[in-house]
Amino acid sequence: MQEKEYLAKLEESLSELMPLDELEFKFMSQDLSNHFDLIVEVSYPDLHFKMLIEFVAQINLSNLKNRISRLKDSAIGWDRAVPVLVAPYLSPKRQELCREEGVGFIDLSGNVYLKFKSLFIERIGFPNKFPVKRQGRSPFSDKASLILRALLLGGRRLWGIRELAQEIALDPGYVSRMAKELEKRGYVNRIDSKLRLRFPEGILEDWVRSYSLNKNQLSSYFCMADSVHAVLHRLRSLQISNNLQYALSVQAGANLVAPYSNFKEVHIYAKGAKEIELLEKGLNLNPVEQGGNLVIMQPYYRNSVFYGSQLVDGLRIVSDIQLYLDLYGYPLRGLEQAEHLLEKRIRPVLEEFNYNE
């Protein structure tokens, strides 16, 4: 459905979405200043106000925050008016964001939040009636994610297409096409033709929703050692050649950069057969179905998982971004560790620059 069709559906079903006796609506002509997609006059006995409506079809978090900010700015100076975001569907987390920002919401799946003086309407819990397949290439696919990794790890840096392509060893034409997709999703904008990240924490939230640690090929082993720290000591003593690619992740990796909780398994990314053979023989590993203390992961992100890896205390660890992705869905206190990593390591880098302008 196109935006006009969604707005027409809103006009048809608004009384059903807010089934309150004596609540009346009058749809005005399109706002001549083009600040809003629609203005609706609302009457409820002695209350009279306007709903200033902004419609958003793409509801990734970055785009949503951008549209909320624009809606609130446009509503400044309007008397007896309520900014309202309209979408096909808003998840509970996105509904909560609207509440926190003081913006009403109506989704065409049935969820509503509207507050003006003594009038308060809240209807939630309705499932998505408009599931759609994402169009375009996902920025979270293996090669495409190299672009976001460079932007997220780059701090204040603004990237030209060619210099970014050179940094991540991708074709400039491919990077240019993906940059357009990132702009479409509200993840980046351009300053003097260079890319700048926008709402980076929203990007991370969208990313973890499309990623799972189990996308990697996981193999469990038992390593003869008294503790996981002894396993790390044995790994360190292997003195692995720079020509071989491996990196720690999950709790073992996080423990070396932002310690937070105890852990019982060491997770290691190994690029290919040579790395796996070295680890199996060098650590004298025994494959097990359960009760192991080491997991070798053949990466789902074959091209990008090692980008930005870091050497800490003699051991190679994936980037903080990859650590966050792997921890977020890990069942054993992974979410807590991910939030700790975000607070201590990732957010200070992201907050150096105002991405929201």
Fold of domain 142-210 = Arc Repressor Mutant, subunit A (1.10.10)
**What is the second-level CATH architecture of the domain 3-123?**
3-Layer(aba) Sandwich (3.40)
- Residue 269 phi/psi, 5-degree rounding, is -80, 135
Instruction: State the span(s) of the chain assigned CATH 3.40.1350.
Output: 3-123
Distance between CA atoms of 131 and 237, rounded to whole angstroms? 51
Residue 345: closest CA among 310, 321, 311 = 321
Ranges in the chain annotated CATH 3.30.460.40 = 213-348
- Report the 10 Å Cβ neighbour count for 98: 20
Count of helices and strands (H, E) across the chain:
13, 16
If you classify domain 213-348 with CATH, what class do you get?
A: alpha beta
User: How long a stretch of residues is the chain?
Assistant: 357
**Domain(s) of CATH 1.10.10.10: residues in the chain:** 142-210
- pLDDT tens track for 143-157: 999 999 999 988 778
216-227 residue pLDDT tens: 999 999 999 999
Confidence of residue 24 (pLDDT cuts 50, 70, 90): very high
Which tokens go with 234? 């044995």
- Compute, in degrees rounded to 10, the torsion defined by CA atoms 324, 326, 331, 335: 10
Return the DSSP state at 181: H
Compute the chain's Rg from CA coordinates.
25
pTM: 0.69
Q: How far apart are CA 185 and CA 58, in angstroms?
A: 7
**pLDDT (0 to 100) of residue 212:** 92
For 292-347, what is each residue's pLDDT tens digit? 999 999 999 999 999 999 999 999 999 999 999 999 989 888 999 999 999 999 98
